[in-house]
Amino acid sequence: MRISTKGRYGLRVMLELAAHYGRGPLAVHAIAASQNISGRYIHILAMALRTAGLVRALRGPTGGYVLAKPPSSITALDVVSALEGRLAPVDCVADATCCARALHCAARDVWCDVASAMDSVLAGLTLESLSARQRAKAGGRARAHVAPGLRPRLRHRTAQNCPVLP
């Protein structure tokens, strides 16, 4: 189960807008340069984020994108859901009617718990809190180096034990 590039890049774009919140629109080329995402892809992401009411576009030579709400009121779940739809590790979590066994299946309960845990984590993270975390990470701490091909296998990943890869 993976979040697609849309969800990952979309959250990065939203964090860039949150870091710039209150200072006017942020031009696409500035976001693209900072986040290493093509301007064309940023426009694609922004369409879905605008539809969800999370960003506004301002036209003109000083235009760009701004958050439609304060960073404290937008969660990572809002962003990822706007771009990915409902997060479900298997089809029967989102639609119990797709499987005749769904109502009597213990395995489905596991996948429902997984989906609920993902939703809870993402709902508990606002752009404001993630922006503060990003500022702390940019504050000069060196990245841990992991040799190519040596990705540690961890049973439970958290922010503290998630490996930083080159």
Residue 57 lies in a domain: yes
Residue 129's closest CA among 85, 81, 73?
A: 73
Q: State pTM to two decimals.
A: 0.80
User: What residue has token string 């960003």?
Assistant: 55
Question: Which residues, listed in sequence order, are joined to residue 77 by a DSSP beta bridge?
Answer: none
Q: What is the pLDDT of residues 48-94, one digit of tens each?
A: 999 999 999 999 888 899 999 999 999 999 999 999 998 888 888 88
Per the structure, the count of domains in the chain is 1
Q: Which domain holds residue 47?
A: 5-86+126-137
Residue 94 lies in a domain: no
Give SS3 for 66. strand
Q: What is the pLDDT of residues 114-129, one digit of tens each?
A: 999 999 999 999 999 9
Residue 22 lies in a domain: yes
CATH code of the domain covering residue 52? 1.10.10.10
Q: What is the pLDDT of residues 18-28, one digit of tens each?
A: 999 999 999 99
pLDDT at 4: 92
